[in-house]
Every structure is written in C-alpha cells, then in structure tokens.
Amino acid sequence: MFDSKARGFLNLLIILGITLKTNGFYVGITYVENAVAKGAVCLDGSPPAYHMDKGFGAGINNWLVHFEGGGWCNNATTCLARKNNRLGSSKQMVKEVAFSGLLHNKAKFNPDFYDWNRIKVRYCDGSSFTGDVEAVDPATKLHYRGARVFRAVIDDLLAKGMKNAKNAILSGCSAGGLTSILHCDNFRGILPRSTKVKCLADAGYFINAKDLSGAMHIQQFYADVVKTHGSSKNLPASCTSRVNPSLCFFPQYAAQQIRTPLFLLNAAYDSWQIKNILAPGVSDPHGKWHFCKLDIKKCSPAQIKIMQGFRMEFLSALAKLGKSTVRGTFINSCYAHCQSEMQETWLRNDSPVLNNKPIAKAIGDWYYDRAPFEKIDCPYPCDSTCHNRIFE
C-alpha cells in the first residue's frame, strides 16, 4: 500500500504528465560544432545550439525558425555576467526544452504550423544576433559574434533541408522577436526565391521612450549594446544609411523599410518595457513602482494614467511604420511579454482574442493569405480575455 506522501507524489507526477502532454513536449538540443571554426560562437566561445522537431506529412518542406529571447548585454561587465550561464554559454543550457504554442506538434494546439520543421534557436550572444567583433578581449575572453552565430545556425538548417523550403517563417520572442525584425530581409535573401517567406516578431517591438525621470535610458543602453558588439554593420542598411546606427536597434526606425511581410504581435502594455523602459530601477529610487510592475492590478490610478501614456507612445512608434498591405498586427492591451510560446496565450479555449480571433488563428490567416489581420485593442482594462502576468 502507498502511504499518503507517496500517493501525493504519484498524483503530482500524473498531473505534470497530463499538463506536459497538453501544453508541450520536450525536444533535445543540437550543437552546431562546425561553427566554432568559423568563429561563430557564444560569448564564452562555445558552439551555438538549437532544438529541432522535424516536420512531417504535408509540412515536411515548411520551416519555422524561432529565436529565443533573453535581453542584451551592453558592456564587458554585463556580458561577463552572462558568460557562465545559458545566455552566454551553450555549456550551461539544458539538454531539452518544452515545445508548445507555435512550436507544438499537434494540430489541435497549433493548427497551421504543427507539421512544419520547428526550430528553437538558443540565445547566447547578448546582441539579438547582430554582433561581430573579430578581436577577443584577452582579459575577459568574451566573443561578440552574434551575427556569425545567426548565419552558422541558418547554414546548418539549410544543409538539413531548409534549402528546399516551400514555406518559411523567421520568428522570435523578446530579444528574439527583435532578431526576427532585424534579420527579416536577410533571412528572405538567404532562402530560394521560390520560398514563401514571412517574419513574426513576438514582443520584439521595443520603443524609444523616456523613463519616469525623463531620461532616455533605453536609447543609451541600446547605443552601448551596438558599440560593444560592433553591431552597426549588421543592422539593416536601409536604416543605418538614414539615421545613427544605434537607433536602428529600435524597430520604429529599422522596420520602416523592411520588404518581407512582417507580423507584429505585442502587448501595448508590454510588461518588460514597462519594467525596463518606462520604470527602470534607476528612475524609481524609492521603489514606488515596485508592486505595480509585478502586478498591474496593484498599480495606482496615477500609475495607470502614466501607463496609458506609454501605450499612446507605443502606438505612435508603431504608426511610424506607415501603411502596408502585407504587414500584420495583433496589439492587445494585456500586461504581458511574449504570447506565442505558451499554449495558454497562443491557442486555448481561454486565450486572448482580438476581433474574436485568437493569436494562432490571426497569424495563420495572415501567413496563408486567407485574411489580413491588423488590430489594435482598446485601452486597459477593457479586454477580459487577457492573461495578465503576475511576477514574483
């Protein structure tokens, strides 16, 4: 007979198994070992890595390449802080990751892309895959080689069959979402002209806005990222030829001239941007925004008013892209960051919707040209379908 503790543990394992079966499945890691000889390495010099679940049936020649997020490092000190963890070294990455949402392999959970080759590229360079500095600092042993990593991973996938792609999507979440914007036309140019290519940026539309103190905190931070990683030469030339290259890390400047169809999935109250662009710690020395940043329901009326102003800045930055017949937008009024990787926000009975469409349906319709989708939500707290994040 089981005692009560053993029975409880068994029940927990059963629940976890059911949850995983419903919301995702695990996929093993692949290291791009031959990239090291090309200098295409993580911050610590280790090889790049990705996780791939092969396509099948009608999707065998379709490819979805999704880039992981994880912020950026803007100088030797902050890059050193990442060097010995998963964001700077493939040696520190877990051997398996869960695939769910747009990476799921079941039609019920991912109807338009379930049978595609689905790849999650791990993030270990700290520059949204834009850096390329030849010299390795002898003191820190840091390698700033994100752009080379991008190409090495893509070349590895081309050799595994992506060179014959019928359909392809470059996507990403957060810093990976920014990657999918900055490399969108580049990715299109690498693939055969016959391939139908589109890009999806999830929570990658970071805006150039002042913080609570009126300082241009994020603008200086991005300028330092671009300088440290030598990113200028790998940012879209259509942008760097018009404005200071450091501004081209912002989608509102870089995405104006992108020719490849692009879908922007973003929360107007992006929780990362509220915490790090609008109200970074340096602008809130007394911590008045601490609880508000953790849970939007704990924000005061005055704080909500400021956040409504941030939403208007976000929409203004989005409008700078101008009109496009091929662009898609799903801008909801949730307090969230990244909504494509989690089953609960991608496609479930209670998922967020705009115009009665969940995210998966909106993006699927847009990719396959079944219907255009450009929707912007009403202001918070009007949307009852939101999954607002609560942070510890």
Residues known to be catalytic: 174, 270, 337
Question: In terms of Cα–Cα distance, which of 240, 224, 242, 303 is closest to 269?
Answer: 303
Cα separation, 8 vs 65, in Å, equals: 40
Q: Side-chain half-sphere of 179: how many Cα atoms within 13 Å? A: 33
Chain centroid offset of residue 378 CA: 24
Enumerate helices (H) and strands (E) in the chain, giving the number of each: 13, 12
Interatomic CA distance for residues 358 and 235, integer angstroms: 32
- C-alpha span between 72 and 324 (Å, rounded): 30
Count the helix, strand and coil residues of the chain and give each as a percent rounded to the nearest 5.
40, 15, 45
Q: Per DSSP, what are the bridge partners of residue 202?
A: 173, 265
Give the tokens for residue 376: 């912007």
Query: In the chain, what's the furthest Cα-to-Cα distance?
Result: 74
Single out the residue of 151, 51, 126 nearest to residue 93, CA to CA.
51
Q: Which residues pair with 200 in a beta bridge?
A: 171, 263
